[in-house]
Every structure is written in structure tokens, then in C-alpha cells.
Amino acid sequence: MSRNTKVPSYRRHRASGQAVVTLSGVDHYLGPYGTEVSKTEYDRVVGEWIVRGRRAADRTDSGDPLVKELLLSYFRHCEATMPVAEVEKVKQALRPVREMYGETPVREFDAIPFEALRQKLVKSGLAISTIRDRMGTVRRMVQWGVSRRMAPADALASIKAVGPLRARRDGVKPSRKVRPAPVEDIEAILPRVSPTIRAMVELQRHSGMRPGEVWSMTTGQVDRSGDVWIYAPTSHKTVDLGRDRKIPLGSRCQEILKPWLKADPDAILFSPLEAVERLRQEQRQSRKTPVYPSSRKRRVQKPKRVPRERYDKNSYAQAIARGCVRAGVPVFTPNQIRHTFATIVRRDFSVEHAQVMLGHAKLNVTQRYAETSALLAAEVARKIG
């Protein structure tokens, strides 16, 4: 019988939109379908397969780690050293890497796969700032792999040689500037959201804290010894830089926060699970007819969606978006509430006051404002409540 000399075809993988070729029963993903990068990758992997005598590469003895192995090790490192919000960003950035190049040896993950991955993000419609952030995460993963001898230095040098992405070129979507949410729109949604979300929005509006700093608050992180309370989150955006984050809370913030303080210093103050229980209790109290035994059995014993212990980026934003729809105002995000606070402080006080309140001072200027920053922040908190 003559040996089959047919070369496996270059084809499209429907689920991911990637180009793929099957060699010796193993799928090799080549990058976005129809691109020159994917066709070049096809020629490379098929050529190497033919040179090996139409056999799959034997990696059992080579010891070369795969990209998915590097990815898993780096993700575990991030989980152990980064705040929860930052870990979620890393997960989003690395998901397409695993889909496209999980089975690729790390030594082959160089400039060509890097550019193919970036082009996939461009075609997905992401803004240039998001693409840059995610590709920066991929670059840091390879750099971390080099420091752990899981990746060759040549691969990192090749990736660093890739030119920067330019907005409005090759279909790159420019970033949308974040505008402050109008004060009247914020006030309009307050009656349209749950008491838990209302307290979170008002607290963020009057303190300027980041969304993640709101939903992760605990009683033990709030120092209530002075006339201005100090909230010191243990996990925040700049914790890896060795910076402390201290958020002053004036009288208005204190009134908002008091009903939510708990005896357990480590318990999350704003919990979706407790919000659902509170809603059910209010519904029971407002019933005009008694609850019959048959009604008690209607509740699903194992519901598909179970409320979580704490909010996250998506659930908090979705709750605010639903409030905007109910109130008939344009949808705004939690970060826009922070921008609103910054705009008001800058207008009524100064740029320096806004910089201090938002925690935007750089490390090299933090020393210069170390004493005055606390005084300025307390002054703002006393005046605006």
C-alpha cells in the first residue's frame, strides 16, 4: 500500500474563529483565520511535521513546558500576590492565550503568536487601552517565565521588539474617555435600586473611593476613633507598590455607613446574599394575605443562581445599569461616580485636594506631601461630609 502523501488542510475552527490544522490527530491553532500570520504559522508547523516523518513532536523527553503550563504557574503567582480585582483582569487577559496557544511550547511563543493574539483582540472590538493592558499582562507573564527558567530570554526579546499599537490604524478602536456621571442622574437612580446598592453609590459619591474599595469594606478596616473616620482597605490597586490607602469619611459618609456596620470585623458590609434576604423579609412583612403551606413549598430548593457573599465589578455595574434603565437616565458606570467626586472636589477646592482624596499621588511626590495630605483630606471630609 502506498503511503498517504496528502498534506492536512488549512481550515477554520468555527468555535474560536482561528485557523487550525490537524497533524497526527493533534489540533494546532495558528492565529486568526485568513491572516498572513496564521498562514505563515501553518507553513511552519506543517513543514516541521513533514521533516519529522509525519509524526507528532515528542515532548515527553524534551522537557519544554507548554504555554498552558506557564500560564497556570503565573496565574497562581498572581492569585497569591495580587488583589482580587487585579487577578480578574489577569484571568481575562490570559484566557485567549490559552485558547490559541495553550498547546504551543513556550520557546515558540514569540513575536508572531504575540502579534496574532493582539490582532484577535483588535478584531473583537476592544479599545486600544484595554488591548494594551491585556498584552502587557501577556508580556509580564513571559518575563516572569524567564525569571523562573520556564521561558527562554529570546522569546521575551522577540516580544519586546513588536511595535506599539496605534489608535485608528488597522481597525484599532480608540479609547473612550470616561466622563463624570451627572449628579442629577446619580440622584435619580437612588430610589430605583436596592438599599444595599443605594448605600454603596452614596458612599462612593461622597468619598471618591474606587468601586472595589466599596464592595470589599469590612468593619475592622474602618478606624472610628476620630471625628473623621479613616477607611484603610487591605487590598487596593497600589498595594503592590508598597503604598498605604487611607480614605477619610466625613459625617455624611458616617451616617450612610452606620446601619451597615457589623459585630464581625471581617464580615463584608455590603453583601448580595444579605440584600436578597432583606428583600424577602420586606416582601413577607408587606403581604396582606397569610403565607399558606403550599406557598412555602414553591421556593426552589436548589436555584440555578445563588447570591454571592460579595459584589464584584460586573454585579455592581449591572445593578447600577438596571437602576439607570428604571430611572430613564443614560447608563453610567461605578468609575464615573468616582470621576464625579473628583470633578466636584477640584471645582470647590483644588487639583491638589482631588489628587490627595483619590490617592493619585506618585511615589516620588508622596514623601513631599506626607504631612499635608492627611490635613487636606480631613479638611475635605469635614466640609463635604
Same domain membership, residue 187 and residue 131:
no
Domain that holds residue 83: 11-160
Same domain membership, residue 147 and residue 195:
no
CATH of the domain at 136: 1.10.150.130
pLDDT band at 368 (very low <50, low <70, confident <90, very high): very low
Q: Residue 93's pLDDT is what?
A: 93
Q: Please report which helix (H) or strand (E) contains residue 206, including its range.
A: helix 195-207
Of 37-41, 71-75, 281-285, 377-381, the least confident: 281-285
Q: Residue 137's pLDDT is what?
A: 94
Helices (H) and strands (E) in the chain, counts: 17, 6
Pick 179 or 61 by higher pLDDT. Answer: 179
Q: Does residue 370 surpass a pLDDT of 50?
A: no
The domain boundary residue, chosen from 160, 195, 222: 160
Supply the mean pLDDT for the chain: 81
The domain boundary residue, chosen from 160, 191, 226: 160
As given in the structure block, the three cell numbers for residue 70 are 506557564
Please compute the mean of the pLDDT values over residues 212-241 and round it to a whole number. Answer: 84
Task: Please indicate, yes or no, if residue 177 is contained in any of the structural domains.
Answer: no
Q: Residue 60's pLDDT is what?
A: 43
Task: Please indicate, yes or no, if residue 330 is contained in any of the structural domains.
Answer: yes
The Cα-based distances of 334 to 9, 213, 242, 324, 339 in angstroms read 48, 11, 26, 12, 9
Task: Please indicate, yes or no, if residue 178 is contained in any of the structural domains.
Answer: no
Instruction: Round to whole Å and give the CA distance between 238 and 199.
Output: 25
Pick 304 or 348 by higher pLDDT. Answer: 348
What tens digit of pLDDT does each residue of 249-292 get? 999 999 999 999 999 999 889 888 777 777 666 666 677 777 66
pLDDT band at 300 (very low <50, low <70, confident <90, very high): low
Number of structural domains, the chain?
Answer: 2
pLDDT band at 141 (very low <50, low <70, confident <90, very high): very high
Pick 4 or 107 by higher pLDDT. Answer: 107
The CA dihedral of 31, 89, 145, 77, to the nearest 10 degrees, is -140
Of 256-260, 283-287, 314-318, 329-333, the least confident: 283-287
Task: Please indicate, yes or no, if residue 70 is contained in any of the structural domains.
Answer: yes
Same domain membership, residue 321 and residue 187:
yes
Same domain membership, residue 137 and residue 35:
yes
Same domain membership, residue 151 and residue 246:
no
Q: Residue 6's pLDDT is what?
A: 79
Q: What is the pTM of this model?
A: 0.58
Task: Please indicate, yes or no, if residue 167 is contained in any of the structural domains.
Answer: no
Same domain membership, residue 156 and residue 193:
no
Pick 273 or 139 by higher pLDDT. Answer: 139
Same domain membership, residue 283 and residue 139:
no
The CA dihedral of 73, 78, 79, 80, to the nearest 10 degrees, is 90
Instruction: Name the residue type at position 143.
Output: Q
**Largest pairwise CA distance in the chain:** 91
* Degrees to nearest 5, angle at CA 291 with 289 and 296: 150
Same domain membership, residue 338 and residue 246:
yes
For residue 5, which of 40, 53, 41, 58 has the smallest C-alpha distance? Answer: 53
Task: Please indicate, yes or no, if residue 66 is contained in any of the structural domains.
Answer: yes
Q: Does residue 120 surpass a pLDDT of 70?
A: yes
Task: Please indicate, yes or no, if residue 375 is contained in any of the structural domains.
Answer: yes
The region, left, alpha or beta by phi > 0 then psi within -120 to 50, assigned to residue 57 is: beta
Task: Please indicate, yes or no, if residue 49 is contained in any of the structural domains.
Answer: yes
Q: What is the number of other CB atoms lying within 10 angstroms of the CB of residue 87?
A: 15
What tens digit of pLDDT does each residue of 84-106 get? 778 888 999 999 999 888 888 99
Q: Does residue 53 surpass a pLDDT of 60?
A: yes
Same domain membership, residue 318 and residue 208:
yes
Same domain membership, residue 155 and residue 61:
yes
What tens digit of pLDDT does each residue of 153-195 get? 998 999 999 888 887 776 777 777 778 888 999 999 999 998 9
Q: Does residue 132 surpass a pLDDT of 80?
A: yes
Same domain membership, residue 97 and residue 221:
no
Q: Residue 144's pLDDT is what?
A: 92
Same domain membership, residue 60 and residue 146:
yes
The domain boundary residue, chosen from 128, 160, 192: 160
Please tell me which of 201-215, 275-289, 348-362 the model is most confident about, judged by mean pLDDT: 201-215
